[in-house]
Amino acid sequence: MKTGDSLPSVRKLSKSLSVSTLSVQRAYTELQKEKIIESVEGKGSFVAEGLNKSSLKDDLLHEVEEETKKTIMTAKQNGVELSELQELIAILWYEIN
């Protein structure tokens, strides 16, 4: 979707995904908090004008970094060598589609 594109209504999306309207409303609320979408009373929800893709990627990379730190700590605590961890990551990288 592009900046300014209209999102389906809560009811329409919940019906098409076969999920509760409450779940969709929660998702829309979270997206608004993250400034990914904007909602206009009586008009609907739209992809935010100021959506910063690099900011989203930075957030994602931060999340990956935090998960990686946990993995490294677990590996170190259990005597896994760096070379073993690197090999495992390389194998999984190409194994997971």
Q: Is residue 74 part of a domain?
A: yes
Same domain as 38, residue 15: yes
Same domain as 62, residue 29: no
User: pTM for the whole thing?
Assistant: 0.53
| DSSP label at residue 43 | T
pLDDT, mean of residues 57-85: 93
Domain of 85, in residue numbers: 53-95
What pLDDT digit, counting tens, does each position of 16-61 carry? 999 999 999 999 999 999 888 999 889 999 998 876 666 777 888 8
Q: What percent of the chain has pLDDT over 70?
A: 95
| DSSP label at residue 9 | P
Q: Is residue 58 part of a domain?
A: yes
Number of domains in the chain: 2
Q: Is 44 helix (H, G, I), strand (E, B) or coil?
A: strand
Exposed, middle or buried by CB within 10 Å (0-12, 13-18, 19+), for 84? Answer: exposed
Q: Is residue 19 part of a domain?
A: yes
Q: Is residue 1 part of a domain?
A: no
Q: Is residue 5 part of a domain?
A: no
Continuous H helices in 7-95: 10-17, 21-33, 53-77, 82-95
Same domain as 90, residue 59: yes
